[in-house]
Amino acid sequence: MTHHDAIVCGAGVIGLSLALELRKRGLRVLILERAAPGGESSHAAAGMLACCAQEAPESHPHRALHALAEASYRMYPGFVRAVETASGMKVDLRREGTLQLLDAAEPLPSSESSRVLAPGELARLEPRIAGEYRAVLLNEATLDPRALCVALERAARHDNIDLATGSPVTSLRFEAGKLTGVRTDRAEYAAPIVVNCCGAWSAELESVDLESSDGTTASTHLPTRPMKGQMLSVVGAVPVVRHTICAHNVYLVPRTDGRLLIGATVEDVGFDKRVVPEAIQRLHQAAADLIPDIGEMKIHEAWAGLRPATPDDLPILGPTSIPGYFVATGHFRDGILLAPITARVMADLITGAPPAFDLAPFSPDRFAK
């Protein structure tokens, strides 16, 4: 049995990014993935790096999330450069900004990274939008998460990170009361550190028997659940928008290759990943109501993914009551955005360095009671 310093369970954008950061710090890393790398929530994401929302009040837990998001956004240019250099491929990072369309009653976001458009400016920036809107231009970016995950996988292999796919982790291994690795239905893998980055499937490790050989027990409660999101992409002869556009019932994300992504639903339906034609048609119609040209564009692809949600809409980051067992999951709709900072703070925790942020609001222990 091959021994590693750390095992990362899950090869989505969070697991791949963390594995690269741990490898950079000298650890021998193994990634275990139940399906294909980047094939679940990361594959389904739109890739909006949205960090310019209004801050929560000072004492609100979501203020800590806002701080993480801003830090991660600042890291992204360097993060992308490093991944592109190691992988030899591009990830389509676009910085045209996001146009947030507001109804008359909606408050204007207060952010140093946003600008309220003057009358007539929206029509100049995006002339195909039908109707009159107040609009805010947010200093946000987008990228292609599918390309990012392929690049992260290539970078991981380039850095001699081991990767095993096609079999989920079924349990943790213990010897003499200590965590010694994990089991899948095919093999056992040894490491003193295990990180659960399993996304919507993170809670599955909660149900395994964690009794060690000396009779002691330890457990951790991960109340993650899947939240389904359906999306589609359309293509046409010419691009119809240059900016990402967010309205109250639909958003549009242009890609450099000519695709236009339209999203997205949020559905609490368990692990159901079926694409529902009626839902796709509603999204397509909402986009066409906003920009009539979209109604004439061909549907290129429709898909569904499972976002990892938590009861308080905050990610779960940190050590558990089981020494050596860490969790980095529950990012819901922010997994792409939060990948660089999650990799950094989790690598700090794992290697014994003090994290740059207070991670108490994200601790797994908050669900213990």
Residue-by-residue DSSP string for 136-195: EEE--EE--HHHHHHHHHHHHHHTT-EEEESS-EEEEEEETTEEEEEEESS-EEE-SEEE
Q: Write out the DSSP string of 271-284.
A: T-----HHHHHHHH
The span from the CA of 38 to the CA of 150, in Å, is: 7
Residue 312 pLDDT: 95
> Percentage of the chain surpassing pLDDT 90?
83
Residue 209 pLDDT: 46
Name the strand (E) or helix (H) holding 252.
Answer: strand 251-254
Q: Summarize the confidence of residues 59-80 as an average pLDDT.
A: 89
Are 183 and 155 in a shared domain?
A: yes
Residue 109 pLDDT: 66
Are 239 and 267 in a shared domain?
A: yes
Among 113-122, 155-164, 189-198, 254-263, the minimum mean pLDDT is found in 113-122
Contacts of 302 (CB under 8 A, 6+ apart): 230, 231, 232, 233, 275, 280
The span from the CA of 366 to the CA of 362, in Å, is: 8
The span from the CA of 367 to the CA of 182, in Å, is: 24
**Residue 1 domain-assigned (yes or no):** no
Q: Summarize the confidence of residues 216-225 as an average pLDDT.
A: 74
Are 210 and 82 in a shared domain?
A: yes
Going by pLDDT thresholds of 50, 70 and 90, the confidence category of residue 213 is: very low
Q: Is 75 helix (H, G, I), strand (E, B) or coil?
A: helix
User: Is the pLDDT at 171 greater than 80, yes or no?
Assistant: yes
Query: What is the tens place of the pLDDT at every residue in 54-64?
Result: 555 555 568 89
Q: Summarize the confidence of residues 186-196 as an average pLDDT.
A: 96
Q: Is 94 helix (H, G, I), strand (E, B) or coil?
A: strand
Are 327 and 239 in a shared domain?
A: no
User: Is the pLDDT at 43 greater than 50, yes or no?
Assistant: yes
Q: Which of 261, 282, 309 is the endpoint of a domain?
A: 309
Q: Which of 294, 309, 324 is the endpoint of a domain?
A: 309
Going by pLDDT thresholds of 50, 70 and 90, the confidence category of residue 159 is: very high
The span from the CA of 239 to the CA of 161, in Å, is: 39
Residue 348 pLDDT: 98
The span from the CA of 303 to the CA of 230, in Å, is: 6
Q: Summarize the confidence of residues 360-365 as an average pLDDT.
A: 95
Going by pLDDT thresholds of 50, 70 and 90, the confidence category of residue 207 is: very low
Q: Is 253 helix (H, G, I), strand (E, B) or coil?
A: strand
User: Is the pLDDT at 303 greater than 60, yes or no?
Assistant: yes
Question: Taking a C-beta distance cutoff of 8 angstroms, is the pair 128, 90 a contact?
Answer: no
User: Is the pLDDT at 66 greater than 50, yes or no?
Assistant: yes
Going by pLDDT thresholds of 50, 70 and 90, the confidence category of residue 3 is: confident
Are 242 and 188 in a shared domain?
A: no
Are 264 and 183 in a shared domain?
A: no
More confident residue, 369 or 179: 179
Q: Give the number of domains in the chain.
A: 2
Contacts of 199 (CB under 8 A, 6+ apart): 10, 12, 14, 40, 41, 224, 306, 308, 329, 331, 335
Q: Which of 309, 330, 346 is the endpoint of a domain?
A: 309
Residue 219 pLDDT: 60
- Computed over every residue of the chain, the mean pLDDT equals 92
Residue 347 pLDDT: 98
Mark 143-180 as b/e (b = at least 16 C-beta within 10 Å): bbbbbbbbbbbbbbeeeebbbbeeebbebbbbeeeebb
Are 209 and 319 in a shared domain?
A: yes
Q: Summarize the confidence of residues 24-44 as an average pLDDT.
A: 97
Q: What is the CATH number of the domain that holds 279?
A: 3.30.9.10
Give the domain range for residue 298. 98-139+225-309
Residue 52 pLDDT: 60
Are 277 and 241 in a shared domain?
A: yes
Are 233 and 215 in a shared domain?
A: no
